[in-house]
A and B are shown apart, each in its own frame.
Chain A
Amino acid sequence: MNTTRLMVLIWIVLLSWGTAGCNAQENQSQGAQDAPRSAAKSENKPNLRYEDDTLSVRIVMRTPDQLTAFYLGRGFNQAAIAHILETCFITPIVHNKTFDVLWLRLDDWRFTRGDTPIPRLKRDYWPAHWTDAGLPLAHQATFGWTLLPEERDLRPDEGAGGSVVIPRQDRPFTLTMRFHTGADKQGPVKTVVFEDLQCTANPS
């Protein structure tokens, strides 16, 4: 093989290497979308899943029995569990499918019924209740790890799951999730809407 052919071969290899990186960038831009997307309902049941090129979201609604079994099994006392059962636990599992940062920021999410906002019970809601219940520090720590983080820069292929808490509701409500994208949050904002969610009762 002469010198010229060898150089051509090397440059072909190098250019192929670069092209692989470009494809990744293309996928990234295809994944970002502006328009709000609703998780479609079927047969009057709320759809608890959403997925596109940008992200996937799955929502689990915890029944009082499930919450009791989980926290009782971790040694929580009855007083603490009583406080938990006064509320409604929504457990989203979010997965970043882009090649960039997807921002999970709970203050960008809205719980509403019609035009009426439903306030979220943030982490600072709990310490007074734990003091009232005499819940040990270890259990408070465990509880904290079962909640979704307030803010997380989800990296490519990273997921996060945990509970978000609102006051117990007896009627359906809507959860609108907004996700900023890009390391500097300057990318397109992704919006996903889950309608007709309900705080789950124990099966009768």
Chain B
Amino acid sequence: MHSQSILALTLGLAWLLLSSAAAVTLPKGILKLDGRPAPPLVLQNMDGERWDLSESRGHWVLVHFWATWCGPCRKEMPTLQAILPQLDPKKMELAIINTAESEDTVFSFLAAVAPDIVPLMDTDGQVTERWQPRGLPASFFVDPDGRLRYLALGGRPWDTPPYLNFIKGLANQ
């Protein structure tokens, strides 16, 4: 009886330790944020349609800032294109925001590497300033309540299993 109690205690402790470790395991370069409310984000996309983050409550949003002159952004963009068809926009929406470039510049780049992405245009760069990313590119994960939950440092290979599983895991919460 005594040894059975110790076994139960050991198993319980093992389960607690392993499950808590798994809960905080994030892909490389993903930071957990403090859950403060996301700054306002209202922009027009390249087709002229208005998009407002506050209307995306109830599902996750990946808010991504980039520019064509930034090398890591150029490398990362095809990986965002690759995951786009694998995500249900009702669970995980992508808001791809170009920082302060012209439509011609953005169109000529995206047409070649990410034709399905319709970016939001931060034409004067002021929305990006308000979000204060740590640099370009930057990807924030906004939860269904409109709070900042995770930040990806720099460019990440979103189409590889650790990152894709992370995104799908959030979407299916």
Binding site for B on A (CB under 8 A): 3-4, 6-7, 10-11, 13-14, 17, 70, 73-75, 136-142, 144-146, 149, 152, 155, 157-160, 162
Contact status A158-B126, CB under 8 Å? no
Known contacts A74-B69, A75-B102; A138/B123 CB under 8 A: yes
Please determine whether A149 and B14 come into contact, CB atoms closer than 8 angstroms: no
For B134, the closest partner residue in chain A by CB is A152
Question: Interface majority SS on A: helix, strand, loop or mixed?
Answer: helix
Closest CB-CB distance, A120 to chain B, in whole Å? 19
Nearest neighbor of B135 in chain A, beta-carbon distance: A160
Q: Which of B4, B11, B134 contacts A10 (CB under 8 A)?
A: B11
Q: Specify the chain A residue showing the minimal Cβ separation from B28.
A: A157
Known contacts A14-B14, A158-B154; is-contact A141 B69 (Cβ 8 Å): no
Assuming A3-B4, A4-B3, A157-B29, is B10 touching A141 (CB within 8 A)? Answer: no
Q: In this complex, what residue of B is CB-closest to A140? A: B125
A202 to chain B minimum Cβ distance, whole angstroms, is 21
Name the A residues within 8 Å of B124 (CB-CB): 136-138, 141
A70 touches B69 (CB 8 A): yes
| Contact of A145 (CB < 8 Å), options: B4, B7, B28, B99 | B99
| Chain B positions 1-52 with a Cβ under 8 Å from a chain A Cβ | 3-4, 6-7, 10-11, 13-14, 17-18, 21, 28-29, 31
How would residues 55 to 99 of chain B score, 1 for a CB under 8 Å from any chain A CB and 0 otherwise?
000000000000101100000000000000000000000000001
Residues of A within 8 Å of B6, CB to CB, are: 7
| Known contacts A142-B69, A145-B136, A155-B153; A137 and B125 CB within 8 A of each other | yes
Least CB separation from A139: chain B residue: B100
Number of contact residues on B: which range applies?
20 to 34
CB contacts (< 8 Å) of B134 on chain A: these are 149, 152, 158, 160
How far does the alpha carbon of A162 sit from the alpha carbon of B123 in the complex, in Å?
22
A146 to B18, CA, bound (A): 43
A-B contact pairs, 25 of them (CB 8 A): A3-B4, A4-B3, A7-B10, A10-B10, A14-B13, A14-B14, A17-B21, A74-B101, A136-B124, A137-B125, A139-B100, A141-B128, A142-B101, A142-B125, A144-B125, A144-B129, A145-B128, A145-B135, A145-B136, A149-B135, A155-B31, A157-B153, A158-B29, A158-B153, A162-B135
How near does chain A come to B86, taking the closest CB pair, in angstroms?
26
> A158 to B152, alpha carbons, bound, how many Å?
10
Task: Assess whether A3 is in contact with B101, with CB atoms less than 8 Å apart.
Answer: no
Q: How far is the CB of B140 from chain A (nearest CB, A)?
A: 15
Give complex CA distance A11, B18 in Å.
Answer: 12
Residue ID in chain B nearest A158 by CB atoms: B153
Q: Which A residues lie within 8 Å of B69 (CB)?
A: 70, 73-74, 142, 146
Residue of A nearest to B7 (CB): A3
Q: Residues 116-129 of chain B: 1 if any A CB is under 8 Å from the residue's CB, otherwise 0?
A: 00000001111011
Given contacts A141-B100, A145-B67, contact A14 B17 (CB under 8 A): yes
